[in-house]
Amino acid sequence: MTVFADLGSTWSKVVDTSVKIIKTKEVPLDIIADFACGHNAEKRSKRSVNELIALCEGGLRLIGEKNFLLVDVGSRDTKYVVYEDGKFVQTGWNQECGASQGFAVELLEMYYGVDCNELETPEHGYPVTCGLIGISRIFDEIIKTGDEKKAVARFIKGIAMNVYHFTGRPGRMYLSGGLCENRLFMESLPCEVIPLGRLVLIEGLREIWKRDNGQEES
């Protein structure tokens, strides 16, 4: 049995006999993946690969088109790949200005007790370039209006617009990661959004493994 894992900063996806999506801090110490990607991959796997490579391979496996933009919004970064005529042409990885974007969303939902899937999509958002720094805009909004839900919604809109501009203001994007489950985030993007879920990088790992071993994974 081959164990695949996407070991992110705050969430991990582990696939062996089943699919497990668990907090990284709760991944059992005895789990050592055969093949992994993510910030914790090198110390928790027998073999690791760069996340962008896994993202590319996952996109090629899941998207039945020759031209596409695939964006992965993680807990602390945003990365994307672009393919034209079935060939790789461009990538980008925002690890600093996009800091803690997905993680900031989780913190806000827990602290204010809100569900982003139930919030109204605002017309305008905050100019958010960094998730943690941008939280100060929420505090200012709440002090002025007392409306916590609107403040959080405008923050999410700001994060979405930051992703949109970082990826070149596309007309359509495929989305990877936990924010595929966040309706407010997806509706805040001013383009067509096609969510692929949280296992895109895992699918990429599987594709690389099969090619390198010349056989299906066990």
pLDDT at 146: 92
pLDDT at 88: 96
For residues 161 and 158, give the distance between their C-alpha atoms in angstroms, rounded to a whole number. 5
pLDDT at 137: 81
Q: Average pLDDT in the 102-111 region?
A: 88
Q: In sequence order, which residues have a C-beta less than 8 Å from that of residue 207 and are 6 or more positions away? A: 57, 58, 60, 61
CB–CB of 182/156 below 8 Å? yes
> What is the helix, strand, coil percentage profile of the chain, to 5?
40, 25, 35
Model-level pTM? 0.90
Does 150 score more than 80 pLDDT? yes
Does 131 score more than 80 pLDDT? no
Closest C-alpha to 184, from 156, 148, 211, 216: 156
Mean pLDDT, the chain, as a whole number?
91
CB–CB of 94/166 below 8 Å? yes
Over residues 153-175, the pLDDT tens digits come to 999 999 899 899 999 999 999 99
Closest C-alpha to 79, from 89, 62, 91, 88: 91
For residues 32 and 35, give the distance between their C-alpha atoms in angstroms, rounded to a whole number. 9
Q: Name the token pair of 167.
A: 């990826």
Rounded percentage of the chain residues whose pLDDT exceeds 90: 74
Residue 145: Cβ within 10 Å count: 10
Q: Average pLDDT in the 175-195 region?
A: 96
pLDDT at 95: 65
DSSP state at residue 8: -
For residues 14 and 131, give the distance between their C-alpha atoms in angstroms, rounded to a whole number. 26
User: Higher-confidence residue: 38 or 131?
Assistant: 38
Q: In sequence order, which residues have a C-beta less than 8 Å from that of residue 26 and are 6 or more positions away? A: none
